[in-house]
Copies of this chain bind each other. A is one copy, B any other.
Amino acid sequence: MFASVTETGTKLLSTFDHRRARELCVDILRQADIHVGGDRPWDITVRDERVWARILRDGSLGFGEAYVDGWWDSSQLDVTIDKLCRARLREHVKDSWVLIAHAVKARLLNLQTPTRSFDNGQHHYDIGNDLYEAMLDKRLLYTCAYFDGTDDLDVAQTKKLELVATKIGLRPGMKVLDLGCGWGGFSAFAAERGATVTSYTVSKEQVAYIKDKYAHLPIDIREDDYRNASGQYDAVVSIGLMEHVGPKNYRPYFELVDRCLAPGGVGFVHTIGGNKTTAHIEPWFDKYIFPNAVLPTLAAMIAAMQGIFIPEDVHNIGEHYDPTLMAWWKNFDAAWPRLEAKYGSTFYRMWKYYLLSCAGGFRARETQLFQLVFTRQGTPAPVGRRGF
């Protein structure tokens, strides 16, 4: 977000002119309808005046870190972030040297190599099942739910699974490949409906969980990188994987799906999407939450499948991620008393910043959730068409 601000910031910092730093930030926040020291729930309370210099030096990374350190606060953080996004302050962030450094890193290195993706998965998903069990729905679905006529997270996650099932034409006897299966929520849903499922995850904890909980179901669970998948399936599904795939691997991803799809098969992707092509996510999220993740644009994914698959259906359900994240936040906050001893108080503010700022970003439609259905040319009739 912090604009051309960071440019100006570098100069300002050399003189440590805190007063001018403060004035500059306060003015920008006011343009976004956020008052420093105001009493509306989304206004900002400052607890450490060094926050302004930190924002000017480190941009959005410093903004997030300063929040976690308790230097500033907001009693409705999601609304604060929503307003910041809407004010389109983030648009100018491309000038920031922090982001430039990230962009160069991402362009020079193909960060999502098979070896690294183990680290990525482990960093986030192996934190501890107890945290996710407290925060998520009963199936531990860690992706956007579908709040279609409900405000209950469990119901909304079931509706999401039904939506995916409809789109891929799920039926008994179907062979399904689930790439990046998480805690196996969709794999189990499909297996319970008569499909045989092969599922990939790089997280040991998730593999152990699935082997234990779904031992009675025909799920072949593999602790392996999705790129090592083989065989022939009637549907190849990934729900929340593409964010970790990386732009250089979109084409190989679709080539892999092509190799694994039986004739007449259907491909399905569910992923968070960005509005513009970038080679990085917000640096705070890159550092603390999802290292090396990149939000794909729809343009990049559609371009990557061209000549291999025909796009059948694209559905942007980003509006549903706002209530999903707010439900996760409520669950996490309620469970905190029994999590605190293990995770510590800094984790609480980090996790709160993660969940609520994401909710604000989806509310402002800064980020999207795309569901894509695609088939090979030659598939006579698309499956799972909508009922408009």
Interchain CB contact under 8 A, B379 and A365 = yes
Taking CB atoms and an 8 Å cut-off, the chain A residues in 334-382 that contact chain B are: 363-366, 368, 370, 377-382
Query: Could you list some 28 contacts between A and B, CB below 8 A?
Result: A148-B388, A163-B388, A275-B310, A276-B306, A276-B307, A297-B306, A298-B302, A299-B299, A299-B302, A299-B303, A303-B303, A310-B316, A310-B365, A311-B368, A313-B315, A313-B316, A314-B314, A315-B386, A316-B382, A319-B381, A319-B382, A363-B380, A364-B377, A364-B378, A365-B377, A365-B379, A366-B377, A386-B387
A248 within 8 A of partner (CB): no
A86 within 8 A of partner (CB): yes
Interchain CB contact under 8 A, A310 and B368 = yes
Copies in the complex: 2
Select from chain B the residue with minimum beta-carbon distance to A305.
Answer: B299
A277 within 8 A of partner (CB): yes
Chain B residues within 8 Å of A223, by CB:
none
Interchain CB contact under 8 A, A316 and B312 = yes
Chain B residues within 8 Å of A276, by CB:
306-307
Chain B residues within 8 Å of A275, by CB:
306-307, 310, 377
Interchain CB contact under 8 A, A166 and B388 = yes
| Contact pattern, A 151-175, Cβ under 8 Å of B = 1, otherwise 0 | 0000000000001001100000000
Chain B residues within 8 Å of A378, by CB:
86, 364-365
| Contact pattern, A 256-291, Cβ under 8 Å of B = 1, otherwise 0 | 000000000000000000011100000000000000
Give the contact-size bracket for chain A.
35 or more
A316 to B313 Cα, complex, angstroms: 6
Chain B residues within 8 Å of A307, by CB:
275-276
A67 to B314 Cα, complex, angstroms: 39
Nearest 4 pairs of A and B residues by beta carbon? A314-B314, A299-B303, A299-B302, A386-B386
Interchain CB contact under 8 A, A299 and B310 = no
Q: How far is the CB of A312 from chain B (nearest CB, A)?
A: 5
Interchain CB contact under 8 A, A298 and B311 = yes
The one of B311, B377, B386 that contacts A388, using a Cβ cutoff of 8 Å: B386
| Contact pattern, A 300-331, Cβ under 8 Å of B = 1, otherwise 0 | 00110011001111111001000000000000
Q: How far is the CB of A204 from chain B (nearest CB, A)?
A: 35
A349 to B303 Cα, complex, angstroms: 37
A297 to B302 Cα, complex, angstroms: 9
Chain B residues within 8 Å of A315, by CB:
313, 386
Chain B residues within 8 Å of A380, by CB:
363, 365
Q: How far is the CB of A125 from chain B (nearest CB, A)?
A: 29
